[in-house]
Structure 1
């Protein structure tokens, strides 16, 4: 009997790590009026250029009940156990649908073991939880121990990011036109984060300019490092590789830790847009 760790595509775990740790990924979708894509199958450059060209912010949709049931059934029918960790339940219905899938599959397989966990977040703040659980599963740990490893990261993870433009927040209805216009004139850059109590993205602070925003985010991480210690750091960006590389160099020099870079995909990226950069980390204590 093995443990299979499952997550969704908004974790943005790189394919190499997925393969190495045997992580299964269920994709969400993005939908323009004239075409739809699974997030795992759309070219990121094409997606973001289409938004820029058309001015249309697409919608996203969660996996269907049937898709999640099929994945659970595939695993438990061979006698394995499931640990499924999904995007925040307040950002997407994926977690709620997975809970329904669990109920239905347990009616078919009463002795099966399925744990479904709410990450309270997204991107690699979710992905780090998944990877921690998968590492335990790979070395033969129990389902409970793998679940505890994910919860350990969830309790300590932080995610800060800053968009280059307010246009996506405006088009997505998350900021008014007047506020967006004034913010653009004043070069306001909001520092956004995911509140791990509510599982929602919210405005943490407003700053003047991207450099100031990044410096402020670094100050917050430094305060956490001094108080709790740093365990892992990862940089996220949306079509901003130069910004990401500069930030990587700075963080590696400062902390002496390996720092990976990960592009944010369409489902999360459609809310903040091109040029967004930020980082995810979790603390030791």
Structure 2
């Protein structure tokens, strides 16, 4: 436990590996994956690979974390001697998780809690939580962290390439005709988070490798040229070979980054995008 007695809480959509979460003492709240005959906790009793293997015959839905699980996590945080909590949550534009955590944590007795909407998910959300732990290790105070998180959020950009439009179409986010046309033309949308925290298309590229090339080029263009430190992150949804290709395109930028994180896409995002999602992100540090 850090001398400031500040805990960091996030949800399973932050795509922080269990090993890294344990190493950084990050408490992770799982969202729910729901099949007709059983409910699972994201990353606890079901993995993304298990979900991909059931697709497309079985397509689950997703839901908010369980309130009892959140209360148990807060109880555990308090029992370990923490006095304050910084919580970083999945974008409120995609989920009610932020509002749920905010209402429950800010009314929890015995802990002072500050709950932030990441306006992002996956790499963006995870980088925010991890950078808070970095600053805690450097001795940042509670007040400094409250000012820092919104600035880091503004300086964090992530993007993803979809391998198929099928699951966006099944989820009602695009029409069937658009899905068929996009599939026939091998269109690979590149998506990111809009200012309101919802997913938005920022480019459409023909071909898988071209889409990864474009993402790498966009990230390279965001790398500071004045020596300002930055963090890079990459993640994949069941396509480690594609991840290696993307990393090869970003090798120099990864080598010069202050921090580099690598993860696997969570179950919740994987449900809505399908397998073979590949993503990268950058966070400019102060």
TM over 0.5: yes
Q: CA separation in 2, counterparts of 1:13 and 1:97?
A: 21
Q: Where do residues 174-185 of structure 1 align in structure 2 (5 Å cutoff)?
A: 174-185=173-184
Would you say the 8 A contact 2:216–2:246 is kept in 1? no
TM-score (norm 1): 0.89
What is the aligned counterpart of 1:95 among 81, 90, 98?
98
Would you say the 8 A contact 1:240–1:276 is kept in 2? yes
Would you say the 8 A contact 2:24–2:133 is kept in 1? yes
CA drift of 1:227 comes to: 6.3
What whole-Å deviation, never above 9, does each CA across 1:57-88 have from its counterpart, x for those lacking one? 21111113333233334434646111111111
- Are residue 234 (structure 1) and residue 233 (structure 2) matched? yes
What is the aligned counterpart of 1:47 among 40, 48, 51?
51
CA drift of 1:146 comes to: 2.8
Would you say the 8 A contact 1:136–1:149 is kept in 2? no
CA drift of 1:255 comes to: 5.2
TM-score (norm 2): 0.89
Higher relative contact order (CA 8 A, sep 6+): 2
Equivalent residue, structure 2, for 1:21: 24
CA drift of 1:234 comes to: 1.3
SS at match of 1:24: strand
Q: CA separation in 1, counterparts of 2:223 and 2:145?
A: 25
CA drift of 1:262 comes to: 1.4
CA drift of 1:91 comes to: 1.1
Would you say the 8 A contact 2:84–2:112 is kept in 1? yes
CA drift of 1:198 comes to: 0.3
Q: CA separation in 1, counterparts of 2:240 and 2:205?
A: 22
SS at match of 1:36: strand
Q: CA separation in 1, counterparts of 2:106 and 2:183?
A: 48
Number of paired residues?
Answer: 278
What is the aligned counterpart of 2:107 among 101, 104, 107?
104
Equivalent residue, structure 2, for 1:123: 122
Q: CA separation in 2, counterparts of 1:254 and 1:264?
A: 22
Root-mean-square deviation (CA, aligned residues, Å) is 2.1
CA drift of 1:267 comes to: 0.3
CA drift of 1:125 comes to: 0.6
Equivalent residue, structure 2, for 1:225: 223
Q: CA separation in 2, counterparts of 1:186 and 1:39?
A: 33
Equivalent residue, structure 2, for 1:60: 62
Q: CA separation in 1, counterparts of 2:82 and 2:231?
A: 34
Cα distance, 1:222–1:230 mapped onto 2, change above 3 Å: farther
Range that drifts further, 236-245 or 259-268: 259-268
Cα distance, 1:49–1:31 mapped onto 2, change above 3 Å: same
Equivalent residue, structure 1, for 2:269: 268
Q: Where do residues 24-39 of structure 1 align in structure 2 (5 Å cutoff)?
A: 24-39=27-42
What is the aligned counterpart of 1:213 among 211, 214, 225?
211
Structure 1: state its 5+ residue gaps: none
What whole-Å deviation, never above 9, does each CA across 1:224-268 have from its counterpart, x for those lacking one? 225675611111111110010111122114552364431102101
Equivalent residue, structure 1, for 2:161: 162
CA drift of 1:141 comes to: 2.6
SS at match of 2:92: coil
